[in-house]
Every structure is written in C-alpha cells, then in structure tokens.
Structure 1
Amino acid sequence: MFDDTFRVCFADTPFGVVLHQRIRYQVFCLDKGFEDPEAFSAAQETDAWDDQSAHFIVQNKDTRQWVAATRLVLPKRGRPLPVDSLNAFDRSMLDDPNMPVGEISRFCIISNRSNVDVNSQLEPDPNSLEAWGIGAIGKKQQFEATLGMIRAAGIYALKRDINFCIMLITDAFARMLRTLGVTLRQAGPPTEHRGIRTAYIVDMRESVVSMAKKSSAVRDLFRRSKHAYVRISSVALDDTIDCVSEYTPDHSLFNETIFRETVLLPSENDSDLRTQAQR
C-alpha cells in the first residue's frame, strides 16, 4: 500500500524544487535522452514554468531516497501553459474556453533500470534531507507511486478550485490512466513532442469518483486524503511526519463522500500559490 512505503512531499523550499529538478534530470536527460544533459550544468532539468508550479516529490520511507516527481503548473492570466506553447491544446474544445486549467507535467519515476550517477548527487550535511539522495523503485512500486502522485496533484488542484487539468501524454500512458479510472477527454491533435503525444483534459473531481469505483484499494487511498502530501519543510524538521497536521471537517471539497473520513486544511500558508493561480 502506497502510504505504508511512500510519502509525497510538496516542495515548499528552494532545496525541494532543486531536488525535483534533479529527479527530472535523471529521468529526462540521463535515462530517456529527451533533453541534452550538457545543457544543465548543475544536473538539474529546469524550464520556464518552474516558478508557476507546485512541485511534488515522492520519498521511499524505507530507504529515505527520493524516487519520483511531478508538478502542477498553475493557471495564470496572460501566461500560457507548456501545452499551449506547443500548440497542442485546442481550448475551443472545452465547454468554457476561458475556464482556469492547470497542467500536470514532468511526471517521472526513477526505475530500477536507471543508472543513478552517484558522483552527480548533491554533497550535503550528513543529517540533512539532501543526504538521502535519489534512488530507483521496481515496477510494482512505480504503479503505487503513480497513484500517489495523482492523489497529491488532484487534491492540491481541487482545494484551489482548479477542477480541470490538461496532460500531454503518450497513448500508452493514457491507456494506463484510463485503466485506473482517470477520465480523459481529448483536447487537441496528436503532436510530436518526444514522440507522439496527445493533450487530454482531466475532470479532477470526476476522476476521483471514477477511480474510487474501480477499486476498493484506490477508494481507501483517497479516503486517507490527509496523507496526500506533506510539506518538505516539515519533513526537514521531523522525518516521521506522514501527513498534514491540521484538519477541518467543513471544507466544501471534503463534504463529498469520498473524502469524508479524512480531510485537509483548506489554507496551508500557501497563499502565494493560491493567489498566483487566481491571477
């Protein structure tokens, strides 16, 4: 079960974002060859949307290693999403072309086939978060990590009234997400970007309900929504933390049956990102 072995951390510190970029460098530059490693001298894969994003990283609690990452690019008035810059998203296909849409991107997991370069690891103080480094996980655990990241990004988005997210993904990944119960609606033509990919709009709330109907294990995962993510700054102070520390039973999102057992605090001192998403 995901929560027994892993936790998702929201990167609310500069190091957290660097760690996210380090995982991306490992997967997109070294493992898949999507980007030129020589273009990133600090061994961190970066782009123009990092300052507009909520970054999530997955930690294996058994090994303390960081093994996966994804991000939610927040909608910001006057600034296109990555998928817009590729002309891969046809907003006229939306019921309301002006509605706020986030983008789930940089979805990556370090597989056990990865050749993690120990020499490129950070050189931190031995008792710090950085000392745990990055590591790989097997195929079964990759499936669990995928579910955990979907839960984290989904709950984070819904709490900020971002009900729809776009994903630019391969057919194989789309099939896997549909198998999990994620609702995908095509929102653009197939596009060449690191292979053929298609933009799909995801109704986040509908997907949570659909996924819960697919499996009792997934339903239980969403009912443990207090474990969706924890701030990496909190983990730096106490590495036993597995969930957010405060709850409120009256937040409208969690009046829905699927979330009723465990609920998240609607404001977690992240007003900067909330404001950014509403601009």
Structure 2
Amino acid sequence: MPAFDDSNLRSGFNRYFRIDTALDGALLDEAFRLRHAVYCEDLRFEPQRPDGREYDEFDAHSIHCLLRSITPPNESVGCTRIVFANPENPELPLPFERSCADVLDRRIIDPAKLPRDRIAEISRLAVAKRYRSRKGERQAQLSIGPDDFSGTSQPRFPYIPVGLYMGAISLAIRNDIDTLFVLTEPRLASHFARLGVDIRQIGGPIEHRGTRVPSVVDVPSVVRNMRMIMRPLWHTIDEEIARSLKQR
C-alpha cells in the first residue's frame, strides 16, 4: 500500500518529514554536508573537499532550507537555498546570470533592470541518494510523478523537490522577494507547470551538469495559482518555515 495518496499530502509529509530554515550552526552544516554527499561524492559535479562540506561564494548572501526525516535514521533528506543579490555590491550577477548570459531572452525579462533587492535565485537543490532513486534507476534521476509513492519502509515521496521549492517560496515571501529565477532541467520545469506553478522559460538551454534552462517564477502568483491538491502541502511547509524562523 502506498505511504501517501494525492488527497493526503499534508499528513503524509508530516508523518515522515520536517523542513527548517538553516541559517547557521548545526543545520547549515548539515546542508553543506548533504550538498557535498550529492554534488561531490554521488554525482561528482564538484571536487571532494577535506572537510566534507560543499559551499561557494554565494552562500554568504543566501538563506538555506533543510528537509529532514523524523523517523529513523533521522537523516538529512534534501536542501536548497535562495541566493540574494550581494548586499555589498547588488549589481554583481546571480549564479544563473553568469552561466546564462549568452542565452537569456531579455525581451521576456531582464534581471539587470529589476530592483536587485526584490529578486533572488533558487539553486543548489540536493536530494539524498536513497530518496532520489528507486531500485533500477540511474542515480542522477529525479522525477515528480503522481504515481511515484513508495512503501513505508523507505518513503521516496515524489514531492520532495516540490517541498523544497515550496520552502524556498515561503522564504522568498518573508524576505520581500517578488521574482525568483531558477536554472533547472526542462522536465522538472514542465512538472511544476502541471502543478499550477507558472514557471516561464526565459532563455535557451545550456549545458550545465546536463541540459538546463533558465526560468522565472512570479512569487505572488505561486500561491494564488497553486492547484488545490497542492495547497495542504504548501500550508504545512509554510507553517514549518514560520516555526523555524521564530525559533531562531
């Protein structure tokens, strides 16, 4: 029997997971270590580091969220971050502005012309290997499918990446961000569109650890246009983010 069904996403999420804002200390360290496990050890996108932590210059002006299991073995499941404009030099490019400089269609939207304190980028989405792949799948695969629930012994909860993006949206709202950019797989972008998220491609594909496309999300419209089936999950994640910020 499936661990969850589409009509009970909230209780399914609460049964297995919690999401926190990882601002500093132990939670932020967990996020860096999970990123190292995924990006450096599993996928080998980045070189391994002696301290077992993956981070870059953008982390100094980012907010991270961390998804963890609340059932044994009580481990880190996934993480992501919102990268804000550099407060010391707001005109410096966000990560996607560097990698997509030659493919952005600035007729659709020009990040350089937007208020820099109202934009941000979601990046460094990482999901632990045992939650990312089922038996027989290649380790790099990450899908979101309505029939993709697994058994109670190891929930693969197909909405883990959606949950992380929702956590990022909640943080964006609380930091007065209107526009979020994301560099993602074309397949993942199309899945979000089917969930009611108005994610628009704003440039051509690039080769960046596979084929990626730059996209934009209007933050206020995400909650307004979200499909009803996803709203219970949104509310529980938004409440969890609010709780974690109050406990800071």
* Structure-1-length-normalised TM-score: 0.67
Is 1:188 aligned to residue 203 of structure 2?
Answer: yes
Q: Could you say which residue in structure 1 is the equivalent of 2:240?
A: 228
Q: Report the count of equivalent residues.
A: 209
Is 1:107 aligned to residue 122 of structure 2?
Answer: no
Q: CA offset at residue 56 of structure 1?
A: 0.9
Letter in 1 for 2:161: T
**CA distance in 1: counterparts of 2:216 and 2:132, whole angstroms:** 30
Q: Could you say which residue in structure 2 is the equivalent of 1:158?
A: 173
CA contact (8 A) 1:226 1:244 kept: no
SS in 1 for 2:51: coil
Flag as ranges the 4+ runs of structure 1 deviating above 4 A: 88-92
Q: Could you say which residue in structure 1 is the equivalent of 2:60?
A: 51
**1:137-176 Cα shifts (integer Å, max 9, x gaps):** 643x2x2322321221111101221011000011121122
Q: Residue 79 of structure 1 is aligned with which of 83, 92, 117?
A: 92
Instruction: Mark the CA change 1:52 to 1:92 in structure 2 (over 3 Å): closer, same or farther.
Output: farther
**CA distance in 2: counterparts of 1:144 and 1:113, whole angstroms:** 11
Q: CA offset at residue 198 of structure 1?
A: 0.6
Percentage identity across paired residues of the two chains: 26
**CA distance in 2: counterparts of 1:94 and 1:114, whole angstroms:** 33
Q: CA offset at residue 225 of structure 1?
A: 5.4
Letter in 2 for 1:9: D
Q: CA offset at residue 75 of structure 1?
A: 2.6
Instruction: Mark the CA change 1:31 to 1:245 in structure 2 (over 3 Å): closer, same or farther.
Output: closer
CA contact (8 A) 2:77 2:131 kept: no
**CA distance in 2: counterparts of 1:175 and 1:204, whole angstroms:** 17
Instruction: Mark the CA change 1:113 to 1:146 in structure 2 (over 3 Å): closer, same or farther.
Output: closer
CA contact (8 A) 1:168 1:198 kept: yes
Q: Residue 178 of structure 1 is aligned with which of 187, 193, 206?
A: 193
**CA distance in 2: counterparts of 1:59 and 1:138, whole angstroms:** 12
Note the residue ranges of structure 1 that are not aligned, 5 or more in a row: 116-136, 231-242, 247-267, 270-279
Instruction: Mark the CA change 1:47 to 1:226 in structure 2 (over 3 Å): closer, same or farther.
Output: closer
**CA distance in 2: counterparts of 1:201 and 1:226, whole angstroms:** 21
Letter in 1 for 2:174: K
Q: Could you say which residue in structure 2 is the equivalent of 1:250?
A: none
SS in 2 for 1:228: helix
CA contact (8 A) 1:6 1:58 kept: yes
**CA distance in 2: counterparts of 1:109 and 1:19, whole angstroms:** 12
SS in 2 for 1:42: coil
* Structure-2-length-normalised TM-score: 0.75
SS in 1 for 2:209: coil
Q: Could you say which residue in structure 2 is the equivalent of 1:2?
A: 13
Letter in 1 for 2:216: I
Q: CA offset at residue 220 of structure 1?
A: 1.6
**CA distance in 2: counterparts of 1:91 and 1:44, whole angstroms:** 35
**CA distance in 1: counterparts of 2:107 and 2:31, whole angstroms:** 33
Q: Could you say which residue in structure 2 is the equivalent of 1:201?
A: 216
Q: Could you say which residue in structure 1 is the equivalent of 2:225?
A: 210
